[in-house]
């Protein structure tokens, strides 16, 4: 991989060992899914669960080692003091802030194809904000446009984590899976958890598989990249 080849590089949050609160939350939701849909739910390894901040795979011609370093420094600054992300606890009546046109209650626990995902949002004074969307938009100005910003009015404020896979083709029908998922979502939504996301929790990852298996991925926290030399070394060692 050359310094400007970002086809298998991404920036993610909470890769590897998890903060206790987040680890407990992921385990709780995975357990609820097991109880709800049974053995067709296959949990992801907790250390491999992550929330993508921005993928670098769609980098433009203006992207360079220098612009990547400046973007990393921007993210480091934004998350230096910590940003609270809330998972769960969103009331059905909250409809003034939406994700993909849906209530946060509905998007808290979701099936995307066969992937089971849980989604959280940055909060200020217990209200969800568009912070992640704004930061992703800013990343595009450094030459790294966000995957879901394909139009000027597209938004993506989600902290999106795949926690497992549901093999809907076996044992029970897809419609029944959705009914059982609704029951699990109701339980998750009764009480939210807030996890403070700090710069040290954000990683630059070079991967071979998009699920980021620990065995084939290489990661380093964004706080480790002080200059172009350290960034260049990471990219060369990952090739």
**Smallest Cα–Cα separation from 21: which of 200, 195, 192, 162?**
195
**CA–CA separation, 71 and 143 (whole Å):** 9
Instruction: Please state the rounded mean pLDDT for residues 189-196.
Output: 94
What integer is the mean pLDDT of 140-163? 94
Mean pLDDT over 181-186 rounds to 90
Is residue 169 situated within a structural domain? Answer: yes
Two tokens, residue 80 = 């230096």
Calculate Rg over the CA atoms of the chain. Answer: 18
Structural domain contains residue 181: yes
Banded pLDDT at 1 (limits 50, 70, 90): very low
Number of neighbouring beta carbons within 10 Å of residue 190: 9
71 and 9 Cβ atoms separated by less than 8 Å? no
Residue 168 pLDDT level (bands cut at 50, 70, 90):
low
Question: pLDDT class for 170, splitting at 50, 70, 90?
Answer: low
Q: Give CB contacts under 8 A, 24+ apart, made by 212-219.
A: 212/10, 212/12, 212/15, 212/48, 212/50, 213/45, 213/48, 214/16, 214/45, 214/47, 214/48, 219/15, 219/16
pLDDT band at 4 (very low <50, low <70, confident <90, very high): very low
pTM of the predicted structure, to 2 decimals: 0.93
Greatest distance between any 2 Cα atoms in the chain? 53
User: Which pLDDT tens digit goes with each residue over 79-135?
Assistant: 999 999 999 999 999 989 999 999 999 999 998 888 999 999 999 999 999 999 999
Q: Which domain holds residue 57?
A: 9-238
Contacts of 98 (CB under 8 A, 6+ apart): 104
Tell me what percent of the residues of the chain surpass a pLDDT of 90.
Answer: 80
The answer on pLDDT for 172 being more than 70 is no
pLDDT beyond 80 at 171: no
Q: Count other Cβ atoms within 10 Å, centred on residue 69.
A: 20
Q: Is the pLDDT of residue 3 over 50?
A: no
Residue 234, in any domain of the structure: yes
We report the CATH number of the domain holding residue 65 as 3.90.1140
Rounded to 5 degrees, what are φ and ψ at 12?
A: -135, 160
SS3 219: strand
How many CB atoms lie under 10 A from the CB of residue 147? 14
Tally of domains within the chain: 1
- Selected residue with higher pLDDT from 238 and 220: 220
pLDDT at 7 over 90: no
pLDDT band at residue 237 using 50, 70 and 90 as cut-offs: confident
The verdict on residue 20 lying in a domain is yes
Question: Ranked by mean pLDDT, which of 31-35, 165-169, 175-179, 199-203 comes out on top?
Answer: 199-203
The arithmetic mean of pLDDT across residues 148-157, rounded, is: 91
Residue 4 inside a domain? The answer is no
Q: Is 122 exposed, middle or buried (0-12, 13-18, 19+ CB in 10 A)?
A: buried
Q: Tokens for 197?
A: 């996301």
Asked if the structure places residue 2 within a domain, the reply is no
- Distance separating alpha carbons of residues 7 and 28, to the nearest angstrom: 34
Q: Which helix (H) or strand (E) holds 41?
A: strand 41-43
In sequence order, the 6+-apart residues with CB closer than 8 A to the CB of 215 are none
């Amino acid at each position: 991989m050359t310094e400007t080849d970002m086809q298998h590089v991404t920036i993610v949050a909470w890769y590897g060992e998890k903060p206790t609160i987040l680890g407990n939350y992921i385990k709780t939701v995975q357990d609820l899914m097991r109880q709800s849909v049974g053995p067709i739910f296959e949990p992801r390894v907790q250390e491999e669960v992550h929330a993508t901040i921005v993928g670098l795979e769609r980098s433009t011609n203006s992207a360079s080692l220098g612009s990547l370093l400046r973007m990393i420094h921007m993210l480091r600054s934004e998350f230096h003091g910590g940003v609270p992300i809330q998972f769960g606890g969103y009331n059905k009546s909250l409809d003034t802030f939406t994700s993909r046109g849906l209530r946060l209650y509905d998007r808290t626990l979701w099936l995307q194809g066969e992937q089971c995902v849980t989604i959280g949002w940055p909060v200020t004074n217990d209200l969800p904000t568009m912070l992640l969307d704004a930061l992703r938009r800013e990343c595009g100005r450094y030459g790294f446009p966000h995957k879901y910003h394909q139009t000027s009015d597209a938004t993506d404020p989600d902290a999106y984590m795949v926690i497992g896979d549901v093999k809907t083709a076996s044992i029970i029908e897809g419609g029944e899976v959705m009914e059982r998922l609704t029951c699990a979502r109701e339980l998750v939504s009764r009480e939210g958890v807030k996890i403070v996301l700090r710069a040290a929790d954000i990683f630059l990852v070079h991967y071979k598989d998009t699920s980021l298996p620990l065995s084939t991925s290489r990661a380093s926290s964004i706080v480790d990249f002080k200059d172009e030399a350290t960034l260049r070394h990471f990219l060369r060692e990952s090739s």
